């Protein structure tokens, strides 16, 4: 069967000066040549590292809170905003960023975003009051918002739809990998340098990734099937992609996942410490197993989705089993059940992100609209992140833990419905 490159082309091929990346083009000969495929995987890994750099800086707050709050005279509510401001940035900026990405260029956008993360972290390291620290977190959140949209869009350009599963599985591990890295590194950094040392380390890591990204990131060569001249498409034309119901149904499914996962992982250490004879440190470690096993789940789901005929079925399966598992989330009655439960929940629930990020590009007709599809997912999921912890916290207040399990299972059951509807919408085109 002839490839897409054999089909006649009617669009104008841009000059190198007009290309999205502003970087040397990928090796000539098509994206399926050995040299180009090597470049595709290098781009995937460096885009993944950009996400890890953002997540590392997002999750430096929780381990630093015990010393950070008294050092700057912050109360717990203000401390919570140091995390939530990331989600506020994503809700406000994801879609505008996606509409402008094709004009700025994916590579330039990620470089600027990493500069925001590094600069914001450095500003926070010298912050003398809560206002300055919150402002620095807002700058970091802006960077993370752009990375969350641009990196998966960049990866998608390098792979055919049938091949995107494993690359998106790697990408989807950015949050668990970054969070586990920082949660384990922060205590050592703080013991040696104080909480400001954590902020400086985050800034230096982001700068290192920025340098690697500037050196290694590429887009497919102009004229290949994955590349579309960015200057020929107006933002309003791209906005029409938001009318596809399949994309919004995937976004709602991911929102349910984010609500349930963050709602549970925020309060799981408190439950384990209160309901079971576990220390706070042990309870936190057991909760982190969800993220550790999630890395395995991301890669496994990414591989599997390339090898099953009905790919949305994996999403329905993951949501259904997660709903059952969450029924027992705050009902665990024995210490011996905690580790296998956390591992099982992480392995199943974390199949959701790579599946959704693999399916999302298929809901838009233009390659340059992929970022917009991802942005819609980020908006909904970050709204859910804002709501999850406080809503679950209100329900489990005064020790009503079992009611929290009921809420999480019911919310995730809604995700089963939205994933089924998304499957139907994708079949209908």
* Domain spans in the chain, listed from the N-terminal domain onward: 28-231, 233-429
User: DSSP secondary-structure letter at 161?
Assistant: G
Q: Which residues lie below 8 Å from residue 333, measured CB to CB, with a gap of 6+? A: 275
CA atoms of 341 and 343, how far apart (whole Å): 5
Confidence of residue 15 (pLDDT cuts 50, 70, 90): very low
Confidence of residue 300 (pLDDT cuts 50, 70, 90): confident
Query: 8-24 in b/e burial notation, b at 16+ Cβ within 10 A?
Result: eeeeeebeeeebbbebe
**pLDDT at 79 exceeding the cut of 80:** no
**pLDDT at 337 exceeding the cut of 80:** yes
CA atoms of 162 and 53, how far apart (whole Å): 28
Q: What is the CA radius of gyration of the chain?
A: 21
Q: Which residues lie below 8 Å from residue 391, measured CB to CB, with a gap of 6+? A: 259, 263, 407
Burial class (CB in 10 A: 0-12, 13-18, 19+), 428: exposed
> Which pLDDT score is estimated for 374?
79
Mean pLDDT of the 99-116 span: 87
CA atoms of 264 and 268, how far apart (whole Å): 6
CA atoms of 75 and 387, how far apart (whole Å): 20
Residues 113 and 207 sit within 8 Å (Cβ to Cβ): no
**pLDDT at 233 exceeding the cut of 80:** no
Between the CA of residue 288 and those of 127, 155, 283, what are the distances in Å? 29, 28, 9
Query: 2 or 210, which is more confident?
Result: 210
**pLDDT at 235 exceeding the cut of 70:** no
The pLDDT tens digits for 179-216 are 888 877 888 898 899 999 999 999 999 999 999 999 99
> Which pLDDT score is estimated for 278?
83
Stated length of the chain: 429
Confidence of residue 429 (pLDDT cuts 50, 70, 90): low
For domain 233-429, give the CATH number.
1.20.1250.20
Fold of 28-231: Growth Hormone; Chain: A; (1.20.1250)
**pLDDT at 222 exceeding the cut of 60:** no
> Which pLDDT score is estimated for 11?
37
> Which pLDDT score is estimated for 2?
39
Between the CA of residue 108 and those of 103, 146, 180, 219, what are the distances in Å? 10, 11, 28, 11
Most confident of 220-229, 263-272, 398-407: 398-407
Residues 162 and 362 sit within 8 Å (Cβ to Cβ): no
Topology alike, domains 28-231 and 233-429: yes
Mean pLDDT of the 66-84 span: 76
Closest CA to 373 of 105, 112, 152: 152
Residues 253 and 356 sit within 8 Å (Cβ to Cβ): yes
């Amino acid at each position: 069967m002839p490839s897409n490159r054999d089909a006649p082309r009617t669009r104008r091929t841009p000059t190198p000066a007009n290309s999205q990346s502003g970087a040397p083009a990928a090796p000539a000969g098509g994206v399926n040549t050995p040299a180009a495929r090597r470049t595709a995987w290098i781009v995937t890994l460096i885009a993944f590292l950009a996400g890890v750099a953002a997540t590392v800086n997002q999750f430096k707050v929780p381990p630093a809170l015990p010393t950070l709050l008294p050092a700057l005279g912050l109360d717990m509510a203000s401390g919570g905003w140091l995390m939530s401001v990331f989600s506020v940035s994503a809700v406000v900026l994801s879609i505008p960023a996606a509409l402008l990405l094709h004009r700025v260029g994916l590579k330039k956008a990620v470089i600027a975003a990493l500069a925001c993360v590094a600069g914001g972290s450095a500003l926070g390291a010298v912050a003398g009051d809560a206002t300055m620290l919150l402002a620095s977190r807002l700058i970091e959140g802006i960077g993370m918002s752009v990375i969350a949209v641009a990196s998966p869009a960049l990866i998608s350009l390098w792979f055919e739809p049938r091949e995107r599963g494993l690359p998106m599985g790697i990408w989807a591990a950015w949050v668990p990998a970054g969070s586990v890295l920082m949660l384990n590194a922060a205590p050592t950094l703080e013991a040696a340098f104080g909480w400001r040392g954590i902020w400086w380390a985050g800034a230096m890591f982001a700068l290192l990734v920025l340098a690697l990204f500037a050196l290694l990131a590429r887009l497919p060569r102009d004229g290949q099937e994955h590349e579309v001249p960015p200057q020929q498409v107006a933002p309003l034309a791209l906005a029409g992609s938001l009318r596809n119901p399949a994309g919004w149904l995937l976004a709602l499914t991911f929102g349910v996942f984010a609500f349930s996962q963050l709602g549970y992982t925020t309060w799981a250490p408190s439950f384990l410490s209160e309901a079971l004879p576990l220390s706070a440190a042990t309870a936190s470690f057991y909760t982190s197993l969800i993220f550790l096993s999630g890395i395995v789940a991301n890669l496994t789901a990414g591989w599997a989705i390339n090898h099953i005929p009905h790919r949305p079925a994996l999403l329905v399966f993951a949501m259904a089993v997660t709903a059952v598992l969450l029924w027992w989330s705050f009902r665990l009655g024995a210490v011996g059940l905690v580790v296998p439960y956390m591992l099982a929940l992480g392995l199943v629930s974390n199949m959701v992100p790579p599946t959704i990020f693999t399916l999302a590009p298929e809901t838009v007709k233009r390659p340059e609209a992929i970022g917009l599809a991802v942005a819609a997912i980020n908006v909904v999921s970050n709204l859910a992140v804002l709501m999850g912890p406080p809503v679950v916290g209100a329900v489990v207040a005064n020790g009503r833990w079992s009611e929290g399990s009921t809420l999480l299972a019911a919310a995730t059951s809604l995700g089963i419905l939205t994933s089924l509807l998304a499957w139907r919408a994708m079949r209908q085109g």
